[in-house]
């Protein structure tokens, strides 16, 4: 493109019948278009075809019901909880109430204006249904795991944590 635009301004390099400015402009544009259309396929041959983006993993619902999944996890020694990504509306930069200071009204009382797409727009109705199903599954799984972990905690023996009196040791 640089050569084409330079050639347009060099009036002496053009033959006399083509030295008129409108003819030079048309010839320059045609030359630039031709150069771009010829260099594009050559660049594709040299660079190769662009790689396709990896496909997103397909969502598959858990095969086991939560009760059986917790039992299998406990048997395997896995006592961690499940976490589920959330799609929430947040108000970044809005101050948060601190202990001992006057309460700051929530942003919903002041008023909130939406910016950007909502979860429904991004995920679609099928995606939102999958998110809710996953959240329900994780809630039941975590409830069962919490009950197991709470029951597995060692309980202090009666009188074990009783502080000794100073008068008894004298």
* 100-158 pLDDT tens trace: 777 777 777 777 777 778 777 788 888 888 888 888 999 999 999 999 988 887 776 66
Domain identity same for 90 and 127:
yes
For CA atoms 132, 135, 137, 143, give the dihedral sign: negative
Structure letter (DSSP) for residue 160: T
Mean pLDDT of 89-109: 75
Domain identity same for 81 and 133:
yes
Q: Percent of the chain having pLDDT more than 70?
A: 72
Q: What is the pLDDT of residue 76?
A: 93
pLDDT tens digits for range 8-21:
555 556 566 656 66
Looking at per-residue pLDDT, the higher value among 107 and 63 belongs to 63
Residue 12 resides in a domain = yes
Domain identity same for 40 and 86:
no
Q: What is the pLDDT of residue 144?
A: 93
Structure tokens, 85: 């990504």
Residue 114 resides in a domain = yes
Domain identity same for 134 and 76:
yes
Domain identity same for 72 and 43:
no
Residue 78: name the closest of 69, 67, 91 by CA.
Answer: 69
Mean pLDDT of 28-47: 78
Domain identity same for 32 and 85:
no
Residue 31 resides in a domain = yes
Counting Cβ atoms within 10 Å, is residue 130 exposed (0-12), middle (13-18) or buried (19+)?
middle
Looking at per-residue pLDDT, the higher value among 67 and 165 belongs to 67
Which domain does 33 fall in, by range? Answer: 2-47
Domain identity same for 131 and 101:
yes
Indicate the number of domains in the chain: 2
Q: What's the whole-number average pLDDT of the chain?
A: 75
Domain identity same for 75 and 143:
yes
Residue 5 has pLDDT above 60, yes or no: no
Structure tokens, 65: 């019901």
Residue 163 has pLDDT above 60, yes or no: no
Cβ within 8 Å of residue 98, ≥6 positions away: none
Q: What is the pLDDT of residue 170?
A: 46
Q: What is the pLDDT of residue 75?
A: 93
Residue 42 has pLDDT above 90, yes or no: no
């Amino acid at each position: 493109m640089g050569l084409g635009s330079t050639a347009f301004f060099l009036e002496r390099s053009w033959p006399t019948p083509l030295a008129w400015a409108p003819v030079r402009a048309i010839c320059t544009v045609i030359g630039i278009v031709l150069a771009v259309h010829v260099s594009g396929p050559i660049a594709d041959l040299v660079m190769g075809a662009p790689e396709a983006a990896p496909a997103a993993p397909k969502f598959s619902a858990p095969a086991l019901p939560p009760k059986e999944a917790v039992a299998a996890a406990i048997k395997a020694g896995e006592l961690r909880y499940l976490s589920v990504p959330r799609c929430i509306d947040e108000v970044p930069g809005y101050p948060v109430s601190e202990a001992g200071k006057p309460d700051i009204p929530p942003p919903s009382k002041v008023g909130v204006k939406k910016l950007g797409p909502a979860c429904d727009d991004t995920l679609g109705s099928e995606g939102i249904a999958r998110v809710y199903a996953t959240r329900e599954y994780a809630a039941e799984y975590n409830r069962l795991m919490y009950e197991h972990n709470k029951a597995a905690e060692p309980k202090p023996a009666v009188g074990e944590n009783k502080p000794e009196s100073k008068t008894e040791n004298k």
